[in-house]
């Protein structure tokens, strides 16, 4: 109450006026408390309605600022942790990749996507599959089984992302015989590292220093290998400055090994033409890395291995396109894989080891502009390699001694084509036969392209019989073998040179409603296939000899069976393969009793003079391979 009175007195002239008025009414002083209480009660809500807004608002702003700073710090810490560990990315993309799958089922697929034209997909034949299938189905082939992709994989493909599957590093055409034994095999690249542990550690460390230093960091097993944030941020910043004219010169790329693989395999022409291409590469590489789960340790090692085995290194005349460090060392420097591994995994204090290391390092650098550096730019490649040697030594990747030894060496490209010596043409006649027919089936006659398709063909040929017959025909070129085979007698070679005789052989096996080509070969050691590419034009003398030989055989059959009665003819046992003898027996058995068994029945018969080749088609529906050939048999008759 005292406080209220004090506050009332402090409020000015209003309170005394009220007090005087009260005394004028004659009220005793002790009973004025009610009036004072009433006055205080009336003024208290008015004073309480005026809060100290300034101090309280200031405290609220400070609290809000502290909360925002804390939230920002938390977000920054989370972002830094995510950039280093990729924990959230791993959870999201692993779940997404798990939904992108496929399975093989019989028949044509109604949920399939074929890739667009790109270096990898065109070389292996994936991009041309629709055209191949149309041509094969036009030749009565059927689709036995095809992939069914999941709805999520179809959705990702429709968005432009590349198909997520375990890609092959070493592929090529494979031809099997009727027993599934190898008849021909082409695998590219021919030289590669089979496992990550096979790659020389020094080569791996040098590659990572140049292209992707954080890729194999074991501290973060869930790291996303498709992006290296510091290099990517710098590349974006430099590109932005270049776009507004502030930055001039070449902008360093922010690609990782994973995105580079996606680029040179699946991007059109193996290039990044736009920001959209870069985003597609990054997204596809990310999904591929998390295909087997959140832990990407094995996927990152596989990325390094695939890059070393498949990086494009231009092309060389006589060899073709070169992919991978193994084939690159062989074609450009004449080094085989065994020599490369032995020198780079041993002591690096020898001049030969320094030279091999510099050659391998130059290929890692040349991939930036392979056509130039491995063409007319050898001097620029030399200077750039020496510059990288100094940087590698400065970073501690190589020793100063190795740097000095390698810088003192001059790169000397190999002069040869890198093509290994081929086998004899005779030994390749069967495989060339199938390859040529395969080319006609799919509409691509270049054997170079066919050999690089990811394709397995089962033919009707018998590899064992083909090899045996080819060897026997080649032996007939020798005089002793020709004599032992009975080819030097009367009416045959005589004293002629057997090496000048070309033999061809075709064997068909009769099946149910179809004939199977089992053997087709010759002894002509040149690319020409006598059975397929030769047209024999027999002269008059050759035709006469053929006719005389035929008549001589018929005369012998007449003497052998002409005097035997019908009962005796039915008792004669003839080899089923001896068709002429069987014809003679059937002829004599069909003659009436007491009929003339000489040439008299032939005179009234009319003969056709038309030459008609017999075409036989051999196919194996189960194997999915069809081979056709024109038989050497022709019907030649004259009146």
Domain segments of the chain: what residues?
Answer: 2-46, 86-119+126-165+255-310, 199-214+318-420
Per-residue model confidence as pLDDT tens digits over 340-371: 999 999 889 999 999 999 999 999 999 999 99
CA-based torsion, 271, 273, 279, 284: positive or negative: negative
Q: What is the pLDDT of residue 494?
A: 72
- Given a cut of 70, whether residue 615 has pLDDT beyond it is no
Per-residue model confidence as pLDDT tens digits over 249-302: 665 567 899 999 999 999 999 999 888 999 999 999 999 999 999 999 999 999
| Average confidence (pLDDT) over 28-35 | 44
| Average confidence (pLDDT) over 516-533 | 87
| Average confidence (pLDDT) over 464-471 | 93
**Is residue 254 exposed (0-12), middle (13-18) or buried (19+ Cβ within 10 Å)?**
buried
Q: How far apart are CA 465 and CA 84, in angstroms?
A: 62
Per-residue model confidence as pLDDT tens digits over 175-233: 999 999 999 999 999 999 999 999 999 999 999 999 999 899 999 999 999 988 777 77
- Contacts of residue 516, defined as CB under 8 A and 6 or more positions apart, other chains included, come to 178, 460, 508, 509, 510, 618, 619, 620
Query: What is the full DSSP assignment across 41-69?
Result: HHHHHHHHTS--HHHHHHHHHHHHHHHHH
Q: What values do phi and psi take at 529, rounded to 5?
A: -95, 110
Q: What is the pLDDT of residue 496?
A: 78
Q: For the chain, what's the residue count?
A: 639
- How many alpha carbons fall within 13 Å on the CB side of residue 600? 5
Task: Point out the least confidently predicted range of 1-15, 117-131, 512-526.
Answer: 1-15
Q: What is the pLDDT of residue 198?
A: 95
Would you state the torsion angle of the CA atoms of residues 354, 355, 359, 362, taken in this order, to the nearest 10 degrees? Answer: 60
Residue 603's pLDDT band (boundaries 50, 70, 90)?
low
- How many alpha carbons fall within 13 Å on the CB side of residue 529? 20
- Given a cut of 70, whether residue 242 has pLDDT beyond it is no
Whole-model pTM? 0.73
The chain-wide mean pLDDT, for the chain, equals 83
The proportion of the chain whose per-residue pLDDT surpasses 90, expressed as a percent, equals 52
| Average confidence (pLDDT) over 570-596 | 84
Q: How far apart are CA 309 and CA 467, in angstroms?
A: 34
Q: How far apart are CA 426 and CA 349, in angstroms?
A: 48
Q: How far apart are CA 68 and CA 50, in angstroms?
A: 30
Per-residue model confidence as pLDDT tens digits over 150-172: 999 999 999 999 999 999 999 99
Q: What share of the chain is helix, strand, coil (3-state, %, to 5)?
A: 50, 10, 35
Q: Radius of gyration (Cα) for the chain, nearest Å?
A: 45
Most confident of 30-44, 65-79, 436-450, 543-557: 436-450
| Cβ pair 260, 312 in contact under 8 A | no
Sheet holding 455-458, edge to edge: 182-185, 173-176, 455-458
> Where are the alpha helices (H) located in 139-256, listed in sequence order?
151-158, 201-211, 229-243
Task: Point out the least confidently predicted range of 16-30, 478-492, 511-525.
Answer: 16-30
Q: How far apart are CA 389 and CA 297, in angstroms?
A: 29
Q: How far apart are CA 389 and CA 393, in angstroms?
A: 6
Residue 243's pLDDT band (boundaries 50, 70, 90)?
low
Q: Quickly count helices (H) and strands (E) in the chain.
A: 27, 11
């Amino acid at each position: 109450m005292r406080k209220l009175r004090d506050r009332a007195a402090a409020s000015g002239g209003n309170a005394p006026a009220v007090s005087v008025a009260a005394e004028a009414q004659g009220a005793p002083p002790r009973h004025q408390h009610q009036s004072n209480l009433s006055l205080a009660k009336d003024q208290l809500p008015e004073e309480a309605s005026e809060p100290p807004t300034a101090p309280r608002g200031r405290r609220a702003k400070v609290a809000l600022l502290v909360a925002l700073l804390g939230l920002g710090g938390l977000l920054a810490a989370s972002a830094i942790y995510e950039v280093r560990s990729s924990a959230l990315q791993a959870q999201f993309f692993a779940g997404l990749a798990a939904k992108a799958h496929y399975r093989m089922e019989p028949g044509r697929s109604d949920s399939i996507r074929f890739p667009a034209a790109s270096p990898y997909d065109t070389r292996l034949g994936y991009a041309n599959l629709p055209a191949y299938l149309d041509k094969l189905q036009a030749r009565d082939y059927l689709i036995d089984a095809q992939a069914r992709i999941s709805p999520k994989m179809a959705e990702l493909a429709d968005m432009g992302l590349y198909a997520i599957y375990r890609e092959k590093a070493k592929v090529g055409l494979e031809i099997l015989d009727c027993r599934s034994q190898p008849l021909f095999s082409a695998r590219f690249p021919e030289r590669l590292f089979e496992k990550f542990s096979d790659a020389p550690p020094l080569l791996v460390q040098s590659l990572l220093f140049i292209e992707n230093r954080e890729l194999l960091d074991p501290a973060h097993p869930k790291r996303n290998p498709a992006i290296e944030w510091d290099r990517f941020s710098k590349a974006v910043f430099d590109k932005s400055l270049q776009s507004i004219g502030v930055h001039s010169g070449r902008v360093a790329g922010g690609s990782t090994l994973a995105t580079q693989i996606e680029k040179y395999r699946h991007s059109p022409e193996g290039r990044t033409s736009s920001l959209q291409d870069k985003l597609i590469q990054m997204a596809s590489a990310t999904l591929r890395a998390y295909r087997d789960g959140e832990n990407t340790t094995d996927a990152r090692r596989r990325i390094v291995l695939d890059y070393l085995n498949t990086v494009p290194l231009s092309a060389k005349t006589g060899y073709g396109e070169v992919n991978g460090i193994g084939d690159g060392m062989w074609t450009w420097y004449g080094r085989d894989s065994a020599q490369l591994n032995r020198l780079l995994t041993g002591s690096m204090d020898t001049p030969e080891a320094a030279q091999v290391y510099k050659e391998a390092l130059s290929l890692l650098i040349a991939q930036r502009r392979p056509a130039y550096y491995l063409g007319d730019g050898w001097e620029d490649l030399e200077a750039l390699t020496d510059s990288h040697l100094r940087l590698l030594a400065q970073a501690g990747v190589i020793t100063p001694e190795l740097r000095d030894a390698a810088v003192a060496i001059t790169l000397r490209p190999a002069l040869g084509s890198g093509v290994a010596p081929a086998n004899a043409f005779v030994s390749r006649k069967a495989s060339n036969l199938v390859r040529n027919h395969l080319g006609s089936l799919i509409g691509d006659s270049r054997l170079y392209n066919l050999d690089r398709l990811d394709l397995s063909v089962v033919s009707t040929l018998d590899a064992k019989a083909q090899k045996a017959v080819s060897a026997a025909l080649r032996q007939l070129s020798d005089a002793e073998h020709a004599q032992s085979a009975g080819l030097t007698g009367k009416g045959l070679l005589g004293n002629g040179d057997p090496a000048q005789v070309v033999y061809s052989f075709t064997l068909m096996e009769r099946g149910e409603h179809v004939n199977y080509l089992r053997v087709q070969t010759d002894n002509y050691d040149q690319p020409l296939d006598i059975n397929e590419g030769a047209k024999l034009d027999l002269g008059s003398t050759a035709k006469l000899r053929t006719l005389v030989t035929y008549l001589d055989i018929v005369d012998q059959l007449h003497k052998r069976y002409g005097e035997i009665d019908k009962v005796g003819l039915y008792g004669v046992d003839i080899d089923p393969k001896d068709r002429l003898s069987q014809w003679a027996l059937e002829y004599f058995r069909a003659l009436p009793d007491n009929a003339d068994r000489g040439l008299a029945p032939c005179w009234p018969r009319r003969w056709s003079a038309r030459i008609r080749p017999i075409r036989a088609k051999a196919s194996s529906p189960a194997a999915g391979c069809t081979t056709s050939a024109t038989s050497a048999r022709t019907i030649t008759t004259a009146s």
